[in-house]
Structure 1
Amino acid sequence: MNETKKFNWGYLIIGVLFLVVSFMSLNNPETNLLAIVMYVGFGAVAKGCFELFNRKTIPSLTGVGTNLPIWVGIIDIVIGCLMLFNLGISLAILPYVFACWFLVDSIHDLLFANVYKDINPPMYWFSIISNILGIILGILLLFNPITSAFTLAFLVGAYFMITGVTYIVAAFR
């Protein structure tokens, strides 16, 4: 099968943005938490727009029509806007926001991981593992909000690093 490889700039940009947030979070978590909230807010809006613009590629890749990318895109945009315009409240509810976001995105991406199964088996397994880690991080944040408030920068950094690398790898598929 002769298949043309395409480079996806949107995936690369989102991946790099997620890696920047990851490095900020891991570098100096105490002083950068507010900046992280703002960058993540911008990242969520950008990712939501990207999901909405690329929603038509899911049926062409899977052969199954779905509205899930539309809902994930809308949820990402709403979360991003809420984070940007309510910084004080965002800091207070940050563990819950991230928990829901990690869970929704990881479950969404896990459901569509089979797209890579025949095309790129290593990417398939990388996607499965990274999304399972995202679900675990989401559950940790959801059920231990006080503990996760202290370790949020590390957890966010780890999640965004995994997700950023996933998007960058996907950009070169």
Structure 2
Amino acid sequence: MVKFLEKMFIVEGILFGIIGLLFIFNPTSSLITLTNITGILVIALGIVSLFKQPRSIVVGIVNIIFGIGLISMPVQSINLIIAFYGAWSTVKGIYLLIVALKQSGYRDTFNIVYSCLIIILGVLILFNPIVSFVSIPYIIGTYFLISAVCELYIGFKI
């Protein structure tokens, strides 16, 4: 099991590194592609919820309509994706910070610093939407590169 986790962290780190470089060197296309992929995933989620949970037909239909909106209007949807990404980064950073602080009395400075950086990036994205619109591809790229380094570190540390 440990070998599997080690390999998964390493693969995830490599993928995050590639995604980070794509966002830094091709920001506009990467952001529009991210919006389209998000739309496809939301549509898929809507379809799955229609079949798996017949009682939540309304949720499935709303997801499908929302996904179609993301795909058909990617540039207009970018602000929504930016806000979601900022909120997601903030929540993930808080969660990782709590986990790092609770690790059986062991204080891992690296994970604490990493968590704090994610929280700071998330809050900056949420509270500076105009600046975020211009700089979000670079922030996302930097986030993925930092995550790549951390995932590789964890993968080789296990």
> What range is the shorter-chain TM-score in?
0.5 to 0.7
Contact 1:19-1:164 within 8 A present in 2 as well: yes
Structure 1 CA distance for aligned equivalents of residues 68 and 98 of structure 2: 29
1:17 is aligned with what amino acid?
A: L
Pair 1:38–1:166, CA change in 2 (3 A): farther
Contact 2:36-2:70 within 8 A present in 1 as well: no
Contact 2:22-2:30 within 8 A present in 1 as well: yes
| 1:14, distance to aligned residue in structure 2 (A) | 2.2
Number of equivalences: 128
Trace 1:55-70 onto structure 2 (pairs within 5 A): none
| 1:27, distance to aligned residue in structure 2 (A) | 0.8
Counterpart of 2:146? Answer: 162
Of 14, 17, 20, the match for 1:19:
17
- Greater share of residues in helix: 2
Give the secondary structure class of the aligned counterpart of 1:112. Answer: helix
Please give the per-residue CA displacement for 1:46-84, whole angstroms capped at 9, x wherever unaligned: xxxxxxxxxxxxxxxxxxxxxxxxxxxxxxxxxxxx779
TM-score (norm 1): 0.62
Where does the alignment leave 5 or more consecutive residues of structure 1 unmatched?
A: 46-81
Contact 1:109-1:131 within 8 A present in 2 as well: yes
Pair 1:21–1:85, CA change in 2 (3 A): farther
Where does the alignment leave 5 or more consecutive residues of structure 2 unmatched?
A: 43-65
Structure 2 CA distance for aligned equivalents of residues 133 and 83 of structure 1: 30
Give the secondary structure class of the aligned counterpart of 2:135. Answer: helix
% identical equivalent positions? 28
Give the secondary structure class of the aligned counterpart of 1:169. Answer: helix
Aligned-residue Cα RMSD (Å) equals: 3.0
Pair 1:92–1:15, CA change in 2 (3 A): same
1:95 is aligned with what amino acid?
A: I
